[in-house]
């Protein structure tokens, strides 16, 4: 039986991290052709090789999402190998924990460049191919910290809040041009980016303690939302926020 993404080509950034890898693996099982990208080119190539061993058409390349040149090269790879693009999943991100006074300018610029500018550059580069598909989907990864304040992580929260509204304005802009644009807002997820904190603090980690389900989520619990938004079941969904957080933002 054909998968839910059969015939579709997807580009995933941050594909070797926790949520990125889970998303790539699920998309592969559902029949997508994949360009998997990561700042670490070798890791992306290894992931693509593993996906190919399972029968998926997959290419892995290095991608600095803050570089317009790198984005141009990535889209050229999509055209060369697949000839079309149906889905863009912007997952690549970095975090910096200090608050307003303790964040230094270099850290601020890096977080904004990757999380915010990288998301915009990805949409800018991919839109011509997505529009040409006639049924494109952009999935931008924000965070619950793009919805609520935490009293810390000033640069990260600023960037994720920007991704939320960038998503909405792009959704309105492309609503009649064949591309849907939505955002996903994970809560505390046990990814490599925060695993050290979870290992040290466990259920006492403040955001885990405030989560009604009293645990961190797993990357595999985010990927199905990505799948829904990538597929045709979400054909009337654009400009929406999908919160997957164990109830963290419910109170």
Mode of pairing for the β-strands spanning 87-90 and 58-62: unpaired
* Residue 88: how many other CB atoms lie within 10 Å: 28
For helices 118-133 and 68-81, what crossing angle results, to 10°? 30
**pLDDT at position 192, please?**
76
User: Can 156 be counted among the known catalytic residues?
Assistant: yes
Nearest to 92 by CA among 152, 43, 147, 136: 43
Sheet strands (E) in the chain = 9-12, 33-38, 58-62, 87-90, 136-141, 179-186, 241-244
Domains of the chain: 9-244 (3.40.50.720)
**pLDDT at position 46, please?**
98
- Choosing from 27, 71, 82, 156, the catalytic residue is 156
Q: Which runs of consecutive H residues, i.e. helices, occur in 56-104?
A: 68-81
Phi-psi domain of 10 (left: phi exceeds 0; alpha: psi -120 through 50; beta: other): beta
**pLDDT at position 206, please?**
72
Collect all residues with Cβ–Cβ distance below 8 Å to 202 and sequence separation of at least 6: 208
Nearest to 32 by CA among 84, 91, 92: 84
**pLDDT at position 208, please?**
85
Nearest to 126 by CA among 162, 160, 87: 87
**pLDDT at position 194, please?**
67
Q: Residue-wise pLDDT tens for the chain (251 aa)?
A: 589 999 999 999 999 999 999 999 999 999 999 999 999 999 999 999 999 999 999 999 999 999 999 999 999 999 999 999 999 999 999 999 999 999 999 999 999 999 999 999 999 999 999 999 999 999 999 999 999 999 999 999 999 999 999 999 999 999 999 999 999 999 999 987 666 666 665 555 777 888 999 999 999 999 999 999 999 999 999 999 999 999 999 98
**pLDDT at position 199, please?**
65
């Amino acid at each position: 039986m054909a998968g839910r993404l059969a015939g579709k080509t997807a580009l995933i950034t941050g594909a070797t991290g926790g949520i990125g890898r889970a998303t790539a693996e699920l998309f592969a099982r559902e029949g997508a052709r994949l360009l998997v990208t990561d700042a670490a080119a070798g890791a992306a190539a290894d992931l693509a090789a593993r996906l190919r061993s399972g029968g998926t058409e997959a290419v892995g390349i290095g991608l600095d999402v803050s570089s317009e040149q790198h984005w141009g090269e990535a889209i050229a790879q999509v055209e060369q190998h697949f000839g079309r693009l149906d889905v863009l999943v912007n997952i690549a991100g970095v975090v910096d924990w200090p608050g307003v006074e303790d964040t230094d300018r270099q850290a601020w610029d890096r977080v904004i460049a990757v999380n915010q500018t990288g998301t915009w550059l990805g949409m800018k580069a991919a839109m011509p191919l997505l529009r040409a598909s006639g049924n494109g989907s952009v999935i931008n990864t924000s965070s619950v910290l793009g919805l609520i304040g935490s009293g810390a992580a000033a640069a990260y929260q600023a960037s994720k809040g920007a991704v939320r509204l960038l998503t909405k304005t792009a959704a309105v802009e492309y609503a009649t041009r064949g591309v849907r644009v939505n955002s996903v807002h994970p809560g505390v997820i046990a990814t490599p980016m925060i695993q050290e904190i979870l290992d040290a603090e466990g259920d006492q980690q403040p955001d885990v303690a405030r989560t009604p389900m009293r645990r961190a989520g797993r990357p595999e619990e985010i990927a199905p939302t990505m799948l829904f938004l990538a597929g045709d079941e979400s054909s009337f969904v654009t400009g929406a926020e999908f919160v997957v957080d164990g109830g963290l933002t419910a109170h």
